[in-house]
Amino acid sequence: MAVTDGRILRVHDLVRFRADDDTGLPPWVTREGTTVWGVVRRSPATTPGTTALGLRGPQRSERLPLEVRVHDIVEVVAPEDLAGRALESTVSPELAPSLAILSSASSETFGGLPWGPTGSAGFELATRLPAVRATSDLDLILRADQRLAREDAGAILRFLRTLPCLVDCLLETPRGAVALAEWAGPAGGSVLLRTPAGPVLTRDPWQDDAR
């Protein structure tokens, strides 16, 4: 797990890193001087001292996975850091009302779990670079280091469905990520867990089924 300035990098974190002109990045990558923004990917890095990132451009087809050296990272913004920025931003008017509601919601609304926007909204809030489209859903994560009861997941899901835009919410557990809507479903069934090694079916997103 990559660490920079004593901070553990986690999937969905947005990072700004130094990228020289000879780095070989495609022309659609937006630079801020000598730096570029990327998002930490779930796939682990293959080279020691690096972290796996994904870059995005203005078009959906403009996506690039790469690994960057940890010591080239100059800024880290976690989704949780963005929750309070929603009201200050100029993010797309299609998502702004939902972000405003979320920003004013109490911690009990999310079962006390840390939350934050990801995807295009998270990228735009962190970087102030245009990313949200009129057709964009609002992507959210909830950091669920401890087990979240299915009935509590259902209550959160019902709240999110009252927002004026479509919301795609992931529960990030120590093992990986599961869709909130899946975990809020009937008890006893398997759910799809996104892990660094790929998707797996599990009955428990927090504990290995073999235990």
Is 168 a catalytic site residue?
A: no
Is 137 a catalytic site residue?
A: yes
SS3 129: coil
Amino acid found at 81: D
Task: Return d(Cα 50, Cα 45) in angstroms, integer.
Answer: 6
DSSP label of 149:
-
Give phi and psi for 195, each to the nearest 5.
-120, 165
Task: Return d(Cα 138, Cα 39) in angstroms, integer.
Answer: 16
- Among residues 5, 21, 22, 137, the one annotated as catalytic is 137
Contacts 24+ apart (CB under 8 A), 65-70: 65/41, 66/38, 68/15, 68/17, 68/19, 68/38, 70/2, 70/3, 70/4, 70/9
- Among residues 5, 22, 72, 139, the one annotated as catalytic is 139
Q: Give the CA radius of gyration of the chain.
A: 17
Q: Dump strand ranges (E) for the chain.
A: 3-4, 7-8, 14-18, 31-32, 35-40, 50-56, 63-69, 73-77, 115-117, 138-143, 167-173, 176-179, 191-195, 198-202
Task: Give the active site residues.
Answer: 137, 139
